[in-house]
Amino acid sequence: MEQFKGKIAFGGIAIGPVRTIGSSHQMVRRTRVEDVTQELKRFSDAKECAIEELKALYEKALPQVGEEHAAIFEVHQMMLDDADYCEAIEHMIASQQVNAEFAVATTGDNFAEMFASMDDDYMRARSADVKDISERVIRILCGVHESTDGDQHPAIILADDLAPSETIQLDRKSVLAFVTREGSVNSHTAILARMMNIPALVATPAGEVTDGTLAIVDGKQGLFITDPDGETREKYEKLLAAEQEQRKLLATLKGRESVTKSGRKIHLYANIGGVSDVAAVLENDAEGIGLFRSEFLYLQNNDYPTEEEQFSAYRRVLEMMAGKRVIIRTMDIGADKKIDYFNLDEEENPALGYRAIRICLDRQEIFRTQLRALYRASIYGRLAVMIPMIASRWEVVEVKRIMAEVRSELDAQEIPYGEIELGVMIETPAAVMIADELAQEVQFFSIGTNDLTQYTLAIDRQNNKLDRYYDAHHPAVLKMIKMVVDAAHEAGIWAGICGELGADTELTRTFVEMGVDELSVAPGMVLPIRKGILEAE
């Protein structure tokens, strides 16, 4: 038995035989051509043929992975038409009188090396795209037909790397999992694997493995295990059986409303950290997004995200959710989420320090940029915005004043915007105690149980020495949740839970009995929580 550690592109368990896929790299030799005009035409014809193939691949990918991720094949079409790329190939053919295959291969290698040397992870991942389009053109020039990997027995696919076009052409029914020795979690192949719900590991240093070797992919621990012993195989067979039971649950509960036996509707939403997570929201049949952690737009950047960058992300999420409510939390930077370019001072107790709304009200230019992006995006769906770390009523009043000024700016610039529901996160004991006052200022409450628990119990949740004391089921925490729900209903607004406690199936019935109106959980927990709601009175 051998075990290799890889990077997780998509979770899940797979057990089955290995099927290796060799590199699609074509061996190309340099030859001298006499008729340059004819050779340029060969390249042009091959390029047009490649574009037609990519159009067909886009149509095939569309129903499998959705428009956003199928768009990679439209990107490949544009890359094939890129002036710099094409001119470099044509210039080499004309000036050196070389065959088109050699010119494409050399140019592809040069461009791929250029992308691979860039600092940006996304741009580095484009290196594989340049290789993919170049190999496609070379294959056509060589007269080799594209393989569709027809009828095959289900197997774990092992390769050095997989181009997006290779990934999408594999018969989904014949693929148990992907394992690649190279690649990154930012590659389009990894994204497509996630969209296809196929367990996938990348950058896995697996040695040579014979076709047919029994293997296990553990997409939760990032492990690729070959020739497992009996005990290991039995362990993973049990885990796989449990996973399959979960899939059956998905099938039976999809499309059903989250309604209790007594007929009370509970809004069941999902938490996300970015645009790519929307796929999991839709796959798991969430009824909306109850927490979009907008700070991830800041965490993944090397500088403050621009208004356009934020607007684009918010708009895409709203469009994909097609009129379902999307609740975006304004940036919650600070505490355990440090960003170098914010230049935050070191603090003795950052969890109680300069963070979230405190930064926004202090550095209003950052906050206004985010609010402008949110308002501009609001015309593309049903948008709600919630403010984290509120402890006083005056903070909400100040937020509303800034929002009014942003609306006035947009009006003056004749930039359209829609209605935005405003809510606050209840995650401090202070907010709980003045919930009746806060309810006069907003349209909803969302209870952040992670921070509420740590502040209520005076426990730093980042300190693993205190794990035994961190009790989210503590009576004080549950009583506070009930107080917030009651205050909300008395004021005529709704109250939900977006913290980890919302996904605790042991408490689903308790929350229903408390009168909680909405639960927002990790996408994978939507259907188990729906089951609890359906069984509640």
Structure-block tokens of residue 390: 């509120």
Sheet holding 7-10, edge to edge: 2-5, 223-226, 214-218, 13-21, 155-159, 175-180, 200-202, 7-10
Contact (CB, 8 A) for 496 and 516: yes
Rounded Cα distance between 316 and 335, Å, is 29
Give the burial string for 166-176 (b: 16+ CB within 10 Å, else e).
bbbebeeeebb
Helix, strand and coil content of the chain, in percent to the nearest 5, comes to 50, 15, 30
Residue 307 to residue 295: CA distance in whole angstroms: 14
Q: Which residues are catalytic?
A: 188, 498
3-state secondary structure of 236: helix
Q: How far apart are CA 482 and CA 522, in angstroms?
A: 22
Q: Which residue has the tokens 């003795």?
A: 348
Burial of 500: CB neighbours in 10 Å, binned 0-12, 13-18, 19+: middle
Q: Please provide the DSSP assignment of 271-332 as one string.
A: EESSGGGHHHHHHTT-SSEEEEETHHHHHT-SSPPPHHHHHHHHHHHHHHHTTSEEEEEPP-
Contact 343, 310 (CB under 8 A): no
3-class SS letters over 237-264? HHHHHHHHHHHHHHHHHCCCCCECCCCC
Mapping DSSP to helix (H, G, I), strand (E, B) and coil, where does residue 478 land? Answer: helix
Token readout for 74 is 């439209």
Contact criterion met (CB below 8 Å) for 477 and 452: yes
Alpha-carbon distances of 314 from 49, 308, 317, 369, 416, rounded to whole Å: 36, 10, 5, 13, 15
Burial 127-138 (b: 16+ CB within 10 A, else e): bbbbbbbbbbbb
Q: Are 100 and 43 in contact (CB under 8 A)?
A: yes
The C-alpha atoms of residue 217 and residue 177 are separated, in whole angstroms, by 7
- Looking up tokens 């259907």, which residue turns up? 527
Give, for 55, the enclosing helix (H) or strand (E). Answer: helix 36-70
CA 409 to CA 413: how far, in whole Å? 6
Tokens of 256: 């059903």
Task: Tell me the C-alpha to C-alpha distance, in Å, between residue 443 and each of 371, 440, 448.
Answer: 17, 8, 16
Reduced to 3 states, what is the DSSP secondary structure of residue 440? coil
